[in-house]
Amino acid sequence: MGADGDDAAERGTVVTPSAEFPPLDAGDRAALGRIGARWHNPRSAGDLPVDPTLGRRDHHPRPTRFGRLAPIDMFTVAQPDELVATGAAHLPGSRPGRAVARLRRTLVGPPLASSSVLYERMRKLVALPVLSSDLLSSVAYGPEAMLAVLVLAGSAALGLALPLAAVLVVLMVAVGLSYRQTIPAYPHGAGSYLVAGDNLGRTAGLAAAAGLMLDYVLTVSVSVAAGVHAVTSALPGVTRWTLPIGVLVIAALLAGNLRGVRTAGNIFVLPTYAFVVVLVALLAVGWAKAAARGFAPVPPPAVPATEGLGLLLVLRAFSSGAVSMTGIEAVSNAVPAFRPTEWRNARTTLGWMVAMLVTLFAGLIGLIHLDGLVPRADETLLSQLGRATFPAVGYAILQATTALILLLAANTAFNDFPRLLFFMARDSYAPRRFLHMGDRLAFSNGLVALALGAVAVFVAFGGRTARLIPLYAVGVFLAFTLSQAGMVVHWRRRPGRGRRRRLVVNAVGATLSGLVLLTAAVAKFTEGAWVVVVAVPLLVLLFRRIHRHYATLHRALAPHPPPPAGPAGSAEGEELPQQVRHLVIVPVARLNRASLRALAYAASLGRPTLAVHIAPEEAEADRFRDQWRAWGDHLRLETIVSPYRSVIGPLAHYLEALHAAGPELTLTVIVPEVVLRRRRHRLLHSRAEQRLRAALRALPGVVVTSVPVHVPR
């Protein structure tokens, strides 16, 4: 693999559930050690009133009340002080909950153990169709997107399709070779985001990530729109159902990918291979027919010009045809999803993908030119070519496989979008919920976010491919350009054998991708590309705001040992038991069993305790004090009269004033809580304790806990 691959491999290529819990850095570990050295616990750590092992050696019975939670295996395991939670085999207690759980298990499947992540990988024959479905399916609409712009200048302008296609083939090869070099240099995946960030700066990496995220959302929308269009070309009667069909397809893709990488790959293998086989057959028959007539092109039908043939129109056509390359970066983003050796298998798969793309794209462009076909609003070019080449049965198979590959092409985005969000969340530029792996070891939150974004775009643009294509090229070629420019800097920093050759390859890829980016941004700006041009910097700003929040959170939560002498300056600065000074406060509305239990619990802690009662008028305050004395006046009582009958506000202000008077104190508010078993009974109660907890949560130095009293059914 070379020095570069070895260095990158040291960072780790395996994405595991443990990434959600990053280790402490050296500074935090040192601070933690200094705090521990001064820790003084008045009670022995071993002085516990119950055996924490729960009698594993005696086969202690398992608790069964909380059946909706994952039970704990009570038997001895490899580690002497470790228990292992079994699978979530129990269903929720309520009937609707059980129905939802069964439906989820049916759609997604049973949960997988964390150790299975090493086996949820793809071999090359599965990875090829899964990761290339977007790239290969784009040949079904990429050539048409280019010709649809050229035909605006009349049928005579269609002759420019061949030279433009030749330039696009050069671009495909150059970018493909560039990404083949990226894979061993960055075998941990995340492609453009990490490459640009490491070599061009964090802003460039975030811009590449923004471009990729927009590309993945548009990939799903465009692929589904093109697939539905293929269906409506063969069955015009279902055109009015375009939006519902598209939304259902996105939901089906989401459900399939929630089942895990390997399962989803097995689901989507056959449609991609079937499409490639049928398309190769189409090219073979079509070119054989063209050879029989001496490769003489059929004159295209006369089409009146609606625009003049100028440089801007040619550039628009070229950038539209460049959408045939979308998805070429998918392999570099998903290297960890391959079986070992990951980078080698990924690079081989990318080579196959580029070779197939060039063959299919060039073959289709040449055959469309020889058959004299022009874009039509009511039928795709591929459909026209199928009618002219195949008999009825062959045409039906072509349309069926085309619709399937276009609908399933979105699966590439479902593989890469969540993984990109994972790497961004690991760097604190995206919400950390995207680090979490679901039941099937898939990044469920990222999958759902992609599906929701794609549905929104698909519905907003009416499910029409022509309206979505102008948005497509800018984001993806922004990522291409930054990635390849980053690789140029990477090779300049890495002296070694073959460095100059690799640098030149990436420089060519960066230059050509940059030209396409500028062309698409300028030529298609008024057609909708402005949306992406505006969205990218806004997303970068959002990523930076998220990172700023997490940086602030890290500074606030990092261990900071207090100075050697003296107590902490504020209640929330305490990190040693001997520094904590308590004041326990119990809000009491009436003296019933719930309040008495909360008062007893507070007194058992052996800390200064204060009871607080809010009364709406003086007469009620006098009555409550009389009841308090009848109870025995065991604790200090403070009564607050609230003539406007507000309870939560006065109590919260009183506690805030107490904290201001003694900022070194930790105010522990113990709230009595009545727990109702039946949900319908909750409507009969005010649930004041929940509102109180919500109000007190914002106060610094205040700890809120509850003492529940369960009401039987």
Q: Angle 7-10-12 (CA atoms, 0-180°, nearest 5)? A: 130
Is the domain of 332 the same as that of 416? yes
The dihedral sign for the CA sequence 41, 44, 47, 52: positive
Domain count, the chain: 2
Domain span at residue 696 reads 571-711
Residue type, 388: A
Is the domain of 576 the same as that of 538? no
Measuring CA to CA, how many Å separate 233 from each of 142, 226, 382? 17, 10, 10
Is residue 174 domain-resident? yes
Is the domain of 238 the same as that of 319? yes
Is residue 15 domain-resident? no
> What is the residue whose two structure tokens read 């619709």?
403
Of 550, 585, 602, the one marking the end of a domain is 550
CATH of the domain at 335: 1.20.1740.10
Please report which residue ranges of 237-306 form alpha helices under DSSP H.
242-258, 261-292
Query: Of 400, 420, 32, 442, which is closest to residue 261 (Cα–Cα)?
Result: 442
Q: How far apart are CA 623 and CA 630, in angstroms?
A: 11
Choice between 86 and 547, residue whose per-residue pLDDT is larger: 547
Query: Of 252, 249, 251, 213, which is closest to residue 230 (Cα–Cα)?
Result: 249
Average pLDDT on 331-344 reads 80
Average pLDDT on 445-472 reads 83
DSSP 213-243: HHHHHHHHHHHHHHHHHHHHHH-GGGGGGHH
Residue 153 has pLDDT above 80, yes or no: yes
Is the domain of 197 the same as that of 331? yes
pLDDT band at 56 (very low <50, low <70, confident <90, very high): low
Would you state the pLDDT for residue 691? 79
Of 501, 517, 550, the one marking the end of a domain is 550
Note the pLDDT tens digit of each residue in 176-193: 888 888 888 887 766 788
CB 337 within 8 A of CB 538: no
Maximum mean pLDDT: which of 268-272, 364-368, 463-467, 654-658: 364-368
CATH of the domain at 646: 3.40.50.620
Is the domain of 533 the same as that of 597? no
Average pLDDT on 12-26 reads 65
pLDDT band at 142 (very low <50, low <70, confident <90, very high): confident
pLDDT band at 97 (very low <50, low <70, confident <90, very high): low
Is the domain of 527 the same as that of 452? yes
Is residue 275 domain-resident? yes
Is the domain of 320 the same as that of 213? yes
Is the domain of 486 the same as that of 616? no
Note the pLDDT tens digit of each residue in 246-302: 888 888 888 888 877 666 666 667 888 888 999 999 999 999 988 888 888 888 888
Of the ranges 53-62, 363-372, 505-514, which one carries the lowest mean pLDDT score? 53-62
Residue 93 has pLDDT above 70, yes or no: no
> What is the residue whose two structure tokens read 């062959």?
394
Is residue 422 domain-resident? yes
Average pLDDT on 642-657 reads 83
Of the ranges 159-163, 262-266, 551-555, 596-600, which one carries the lowest mean pLDDT score? 262-266
Is the domain of 128 the same as that of 221? yes
Choice between 556 and 221, residue whose per-residue pLDDT is larger: 221
Would you state the pLDDT for residue 12? 40
Is residue 38 domain-resident? no
Q: How far apart are CA 11 and CA 497, in angstroms?
A: 23
Query: Of 88, 231, 713, which is closest to residue 97 (Cα–Cα)?
Result: 88
Average pLDDT on 231-246 reads 80
Measuring CA to CA, how many Å separate 402 from each of 133, 252, 274, 405? 11, 18, 9, 5
Q: Angle 471-476-480 (CA atoms, 0-180°, nearest 5)? A: 150
In the chain, % of residues over pLDDT 90: 11
Average pLDDT on 614-640 reads 88
Is residue 563 domain-resident? no
Would you state the pLDDT for residue 13? 45
Average pLDDT on 461-484 reads 79
Average pLDDT on 606-618 reads 89
CB 372 within 8 A of CB 161: no
Is the domain of 494 the same as that of 607? no
Would you state the pLDDT for residue 6? 42
Average pLDDT on 156-179 reads 88
Q: How far apart are CA 710 and CA 77, in angstroms?
A: 35
Is the domain of 584 the same as that of 437? no
Would you state the pLDDT for residue 363? 92
Residue 422 has pLDDT above 80, yes or no: yes
pLDDT band at 451 (very low <50, low <70, confident <90, very high): very high
Average pLDDT on 409-413 reads 77
Residue 89 has pLDDT above 50, yes or no: no
Residue 565 has pLDDT above 50, yes or no: no
Maximum mean pLDDT: which of 117-121, 133-137, 490-494: 490-494
Is residue 28 domain-resident? no
Average pLDDT on 494-512 reads 83
pTM of the predicted model as reported, rounded to 2 decimal places: 0.74
Is the domain of 546 the same as that of 575? no
Of 518, 550, 582, the one marking the end of a domain is 550
Would you state the pLDDT for residue 365? 92
Measuring CA to CA, how many Å separate 427 from each of 22, 82, 110, 198, 499? 11, 31, 31, 12, 29
Would you state the pLDDT for residue 361? 92
Is residue 4 domain-resident? no
